[in-house]
């Protein structure tokens, strides 16, 4: 599709543009929804800013985990230019789950440090904002040709992908399917939010639904540099971990509820 394009003499990544648009729209959504739910706009902005920092750090760290087999490159560094090149190879990409966990961690730290009141209310808004942002992120992946799908008779052929292996072969548009899945998930979470369902726990609704969808969609991914164990990708293993965590959390809550009756 469109890996990069020139703007005022500079090469701009299509993915970065799509991600920025998604970030702005998701941020505007949270800001606007604060008024509807009696939350402070300024606190929401700071929460989002700190979470965004966590997203960047976590996404790059998780990408490094998927490239752990390349750590040997550090032993070949001979000068500063080599060091920068190795850092780009190992940490140069983003993994969604890493960004998600990094954003959650950073948001929790900010809420704790600032003594943020009604953190659950802000978290509910973010539970809807995350899949909204992810819609644009996956569209950016499609435009840039990264996170590409398996070879398929149905799909698109990339010729300018930022990942050379993706080019020249008709591939299943898994990025667009995940964008559509995230759009439906956003609408579903928004409906629950407006109806006051699962108040202060909408992230616990978002996480397992996304994990199931992501687990299935991973079978249609064609990029094999994301790490594989027992025939499952890194994201599939994380999805299973999320489902196990949510299951334990639900059981504990159920037991506590019965004990209080």
Domain that holds residue 130: 4-39+118-260
Phi and psi, residue 254, nearest 5°:
-65, -45
Radius of gyration of the chain (CA): 20
Residue 94: inside a domain, yes or no? no
Residue 126: inside a domain, yes or no? yes
Helix axes 119-144, 174-195, angle to 10 degrees: 160
**Contact (Cβ atoms closer than 8 angstroms) between residue 53 and residue 105:** no
Residue 157: inside a domain, yes or no? yes
38, with CB counted inside 10 A (0-12, 13-18, 19+), is exposed
Q: What parts of the chain have a pLDDT lower than 50? A: none
Give the closest residue to 1 by CA, choosing from 245, 241, 171, 115: 171
- For strands 10-13 and 151-157, give the pairing: unpaired
Instruction: Determine the pLDDT at residue 9.
Output: 64
Instruction: Determine the pLDDT at residue 225.
Output: 64
Distance of CA 238 to the CA centre of its chain: 12
Residue 71: inside a domain, yes or no? no
Determine the Cα–Cα distance for residues 110 and 127; give it in Å rounded to an integer: 17
Instruction: Determine the pLDDT at residue 5.
Output: 60
**Contact (Cβ atoms closer than 8 angstroms) between residue 131 and residue 96:** no
Instruction: Determine the pLDDT at residue 261.
Output: 62
**Contact (Cβ atoms closer than 8 angstroms) between residue 189 and residue 127:** yes
Q: How far is CA 126 from CA 33, 207, 255, in A?
A: 10, 12, 28
Residue 56: inside a domain, yes or no? no
Instruction: Determine the pLDDT at residue 181.
Output: 98
Residue 89: inside a domain, yes or no? no
- For strands 170-171 and 151-157, give the pairing: antiparallel
Determine the Cα–Cα distance for residues 189 and 222; give it in Å rounded to an integer: 29
Instruction: Determine the pLDDT at residue 75.
Output: 85
Instruction: Determine the pLDDT at residue 7.
Output: 61
Looking up tokens 């209310």 gives 121
Domain count, the chain: 1
Residue 67: inside a domain, yes or no? no
**Contact (Cβ atoms closer than 8 angstroms) between residue 30 and residue 40:** no
Residue 78: inside a domain, yes or no? no
């Amino acid at each position: 599709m469109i890996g990069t394009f020139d703007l005022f003499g500079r090469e701009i990544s299509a993915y970065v543009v799509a991600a920025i648009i998604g970030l702005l729209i998701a941020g505007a959504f949270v800001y606007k929804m604060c008024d509807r739910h009696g939350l402070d706009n300024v606190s929401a902005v700071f929460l989002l800013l700190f979470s965004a920092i966590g997203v960047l750090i976590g996404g790059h760290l998780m990408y490094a985990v998927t490239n752990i087999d390349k750590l040997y490159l550090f032993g070949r560094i001979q000068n500063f230019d080599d060091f920068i090149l190795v850092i780009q190879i190992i940490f140069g990409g983003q993994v969604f789950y890493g960004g998600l966990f990094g954003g959650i961690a950073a948001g929790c730290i900010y809420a704790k440090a600032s003594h943020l009141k009604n953190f659950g209310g802000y978290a509910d808004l973010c539970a809807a904002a995350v899949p909204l942002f992810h819609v644009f992120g996956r569209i950016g992946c499609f435009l840039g040709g990264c996170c590409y799908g398996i070879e398929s008779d149905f799909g698109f052929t990339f010729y300018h992908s930022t990942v050379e292996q993706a080019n020249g072969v008709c591939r299943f548009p898994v990025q667009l399917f995940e964008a559509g899945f995230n759009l439906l998930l956003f609408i579903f979470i928004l409906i629950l939010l407006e109806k006051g369902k699962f108040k202060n726990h909408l992230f616990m609704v978002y996480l397992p639904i996304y994990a199931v969808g992501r687990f299935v969609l991973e079978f249609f991914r064609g990029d094999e540099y994301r790490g594989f164990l027992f025939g499952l990708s890194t994201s599939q293993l994380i999805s299973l971990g999320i489902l196990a965590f949510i299951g334990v959390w639900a059981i504990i809550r159920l037991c506590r509820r019965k004990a209080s009756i």
